[in-house]
């Protein structure tokens, strides 16, 4: 998964550095995104991951069939091809329609032909190493290799460009997916809070007070929970209550 994501995120030199370093970079990036917005990891995100995987694996198989491919450096050609194309499309304020790829579970013939054309050029570039570096695999790990590849330009067919979507459309779809995820998360939390019931919330509140684990805000929101069903906590309050419950469990509270 991290190979597909990092290639699409314009980090081919990172992917080329091997599984361990690649995964470390991926995990760091995922952690930062999670901290910024958990709703980023929604149904649409995972559909995009599947679509990226389809593009990646299709490119791998396609390269093996090319007359110019003499064996070797396939992994490097794949990640640099995908990264260059992602960079080129991004600079045009466009994006690949990953949702359509997910729906069809394959890429179009036009996309396939574009990958063929780009991969041939990429193979020529990455195997033309500097005089100081003779090992292509090592060269592909360098920032300089990615800079050289990015400097290359070629026109993309009008048919391929017609398959792309604008970044405004992409961002709008992603924004809607985040909203749905947040609503789903909120509904789930509300359901759990209501299922726990007022008597258990009283026990939770009592434990927190006796052990001095509660802030003024904690106690205020717990006062709403103990009055269920006469008062129903909001979605945001339910999320807060579930996080509070997790914290109190870590302090020794047992929810039977």
Give percent of the chain with pLDDT exceeding 90. 64
21 versus 195: which is more confidently predicted?
Answer: 195
Contact in structure between 205 and 226 (CB atoms under 8 Å): yes
**CB neighbour class for 175 (10 Å; exposed up to 12, middle 13-18, buried from 19):** exposed
Q: What is the phi/psi pair of residue 93, to 5°?
A: 60, 35
63 versus 187: which is more confidently predicted?
Answer: 63
Residue partners of 14: CB distance under 8 A and separation at least 6? 6, 21, 22, 25
The yes-or-no verdict on residue 122 having pLDDT over 90 is yes
pTM higher than 0.75: no
**Confidence band (pLDDT; 50, 70, 90) for 93?**
very high
- Mean pLDDT across the chain: 87
The yes-or-no verdict on residue 25 having pLDDT over 60 is no
Q: Distance between CA 15 and CA 7 in Å, rounded?
A: 7
Tens of pLDDT along 125-170? 999 999 999 899 999 999 999 999 999 999 999 999 999 999 999 8
pLDDT at 82: 95
pLDDT at 44: 81
């Amino acid at each position: 998964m991290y190979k597909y994501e990092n290639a699409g995120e314009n980090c081919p030199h990172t992917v080329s550095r091997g599984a361990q370093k690649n995964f470390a970079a991926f995990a760091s990036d995922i952690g930062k995104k999670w901290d910024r917005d958990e709703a980023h990891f929604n149904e649409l995100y995972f559909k995009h991951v599947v679509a990226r995987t389809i593009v990646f694996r299709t490119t791998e198989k396609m390269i093996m069939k090319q007359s110019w491919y003499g064996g070797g450096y396939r992994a490097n050609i794949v990640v640099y091809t995908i990264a260059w194309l992602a960079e080129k499309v991004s600079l045009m304020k466009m994006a690949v329609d990953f949702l359509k790829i997910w729906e069809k579970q394959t890429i179009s013939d036009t996309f396939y032909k574009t990958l063929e054309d780009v991969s041939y050029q990429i193979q020529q570039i990455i195997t033309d190493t500097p005089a100081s570096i003779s090992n292509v695999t090592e060269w592909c790990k360098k920032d300089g290799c990615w800079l050289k590849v990015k400097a290359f330009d070629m026109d993309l067919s009008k048919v391929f460009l017609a398959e792309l979507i604008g970044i405004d459309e992409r961002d709008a779809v992603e924004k809607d997916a985040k909203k749905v995820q947040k609503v789903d998360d909120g509904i789930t939390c509300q359901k759990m809070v209501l299922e726990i019931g007022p008597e258990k919330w009283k026990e939770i509140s009592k434990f927190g007070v006796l052990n001095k684990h509660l802030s003024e805000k904690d106690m205020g929101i717990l006062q709403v929970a103990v009055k269920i069903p006469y008062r129903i906590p909001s979605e945001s309050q339910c999320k807060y209550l579930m996080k509070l419950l997790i914290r109190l469990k870590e302090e020794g509270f047992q929810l039977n």
